[in-house]
């Protein structure tokens, strides 16, 4: 990739010039619907990568509603996003000219009745399997999030749209983004686990919920594959040799799921001919930020080993960013804001790779 090879100062200048307005400026030529579409709403299904504050209102230890989270977000205040600023879901909304999707759990019933531009149901620590993440407290699994979306239709959207045809048009004209599944690997995948069987079971449960969304009226899907978990600080600092290299067995396991996911979307496209799918290769995007090597220490000038928060990281899987943690002064010099999540700069670079360079995202 070109961007990571720049010196940090030049990289920041380049990204400053290529500001958020660039993301929102789509080419004038006729685009495939998922790049050039004029969507009515963005509905977000996922985990902490795209949680916009749902866990703030759940009985769980997994929260990001405290400083230094949100230090570069609008107003400089924490919102529950697991980053110093915007998430990839936020940048997707910006690209399509939509408001940032608010967290479902933070909305009053009146607000739910009035919103028609999308809602975020994502929940940190949860996954595709129903019990994933519950070891840390309450969270919203994939099926629970789809349940809430169905509740949104029955209790709120049917009030907003007076006829079935209007509601059907809204749902068919909305974009449904998913970014979920890596926590299932983090909690349940072991070196002795059969990677093919695990991926097969996980994909089966994921597709079951995608088909539910389709039955509910969804027609446009933005599907993220899973991140290279074996290259994240909570794995590479203390658990790899040499220090800073990726966990090869874990990345290979996740990659098997991603391959199966991509093939399944081709099959779904044939089954649901009226549906459209955009496949986002988040796995290789994050590997690209590390530099040319996937299983060696990164040569990237951005810090790809240690998180910004805590600034002194011991590599323990249980260590995270807390209200008492010290954080780095310039998050943009890091790929990771905390041991599990990217910085706003990394999320911004993703949006450029997806929407401008068209290397990360492809229409199925």
CA 156 to each of CA 72, 100, 112, 171, 253: distance values in angstroms, whole numbers, following the listed order: 33, 19, 6, 13, 40
CA 170 to each of CA 108, 161, 223, 237, 311: distance values in angstroms, whole numbers, following the listed order: 22, 8, 20, 46, 45
Q: Is 326 annotated in the active site?
A: no
Pick the catalytic residue: 47, 304, 341, 351? 341
Confirm whether 61 is a catalytic residue.
no
Query: Catalytic annotation on 338?
Result: yes
Q: CA 314, CA 345: separation in Å to the nearest integer?
A: 24
Of residues 48, 83, 123, 280, which has the active-site annotation? Answer: 48
CB 85 within 8 A of CB 347: yes
Rounded distance between C-alpha atoms, residue 186 and residue 362, angstroms: 27
Q: Which two tokens stand for residue 163?
A: 């006829």
d(C-alpha 225, C-alpha 227), whole Å? 7
Instruction: Give yes or no for a contact between 62 and 183, defined as CB atoms under 8 angstroms apart.
Output: no
Residues 6+ apart with CB under 8 A from 281: 225, 258, 360, 361, 362
Sequence-distant (6+) residues with CB within 8 A of 260 are 199, 200, 203
Phi, psi of 80 (to 5 degrees): 110, -5
Q: What angle (nearest 5°) sits at the alpha carbon of residue 47, between those of residues 196 and 114?
A: 135
CA–CA distance, 60 with 137 (Å, rounded to integer): 4
Candidates 281, 325, 338, 351; catalytic one: 338
Q: Which residues belong to the active site?
A: 48, 338, 341
């Amino acid at each position: 990739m070109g961007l990571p090879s720049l010196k940090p100062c030049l990289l920041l200048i380049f990204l400053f010039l290529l500001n958020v307005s660039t993301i929102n400026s789509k080419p004038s030529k006729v685009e495939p619907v998922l790049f050039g579409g004029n969507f009515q709403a963005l509905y977000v299904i996922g985990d902490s990568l795209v949680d916009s504050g749902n866990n703030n209102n759940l009985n769980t230890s997994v929260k990001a509603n405290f400083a230094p989270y949100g230090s570069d977000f609008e107003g400089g205040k924490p919102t529950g996003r697991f980053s110093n600023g915007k998430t990839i879901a936020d940048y997707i909304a910006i690209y399509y000219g939509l408001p940032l999707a608010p967290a479902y759990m933070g909305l009053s019933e009146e607000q739910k009745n009035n919103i028609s531009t999308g809602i975020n149901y994502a929940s940190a620590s949860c996954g595709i399997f129903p019990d994933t993440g519950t070891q840390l407290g309450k969270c919203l699994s994939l099926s629970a999030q789809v349940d809430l979306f169905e509740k949104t239709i029955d209790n709120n959207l049917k009030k907003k749209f007076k006829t079935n045809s209007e509601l059907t048009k809204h749902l068919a004209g909305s974009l449904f983004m998913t970014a979920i599944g890596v926590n299932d690997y983090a909690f349940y995948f072991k070196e002795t686990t059969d990677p093919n069987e695990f991926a097969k079971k996980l994909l089966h449960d994921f597709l079951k919920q995608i088909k539910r969304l389709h039955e509910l009226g969804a027609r446009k899907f933005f599907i993220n594959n899973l991140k290279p978990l074996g290259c994240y600080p909570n794995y590479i600092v203390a658990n790899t040799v040499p220090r800073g290299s990726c966990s090869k067995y874990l990345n290979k396991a996740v990659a098997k799921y991603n391959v199966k996911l991509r093939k399944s979307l081709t099959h779904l496209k044939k089954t649901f001919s009226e549906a459209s799918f955009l496949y986002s290769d988040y796995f290789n995007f994050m590997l690209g930020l590390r530099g040319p090597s996937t299983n060696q220490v990164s040569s990237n000038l951005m810090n790809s080993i240690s998180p910004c928060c805590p600034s002194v990281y011991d590599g323990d899987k249980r260590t995270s960013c807390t209200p008492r943690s010290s954080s780095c002064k310039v998050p943009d010099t890091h790929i990771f804001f905390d041991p599990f999540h990217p910085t706003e700069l990394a999320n911004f670079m993703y949006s450029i790779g997806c929407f401008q360079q068209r290397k990360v995202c492809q229409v199925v």
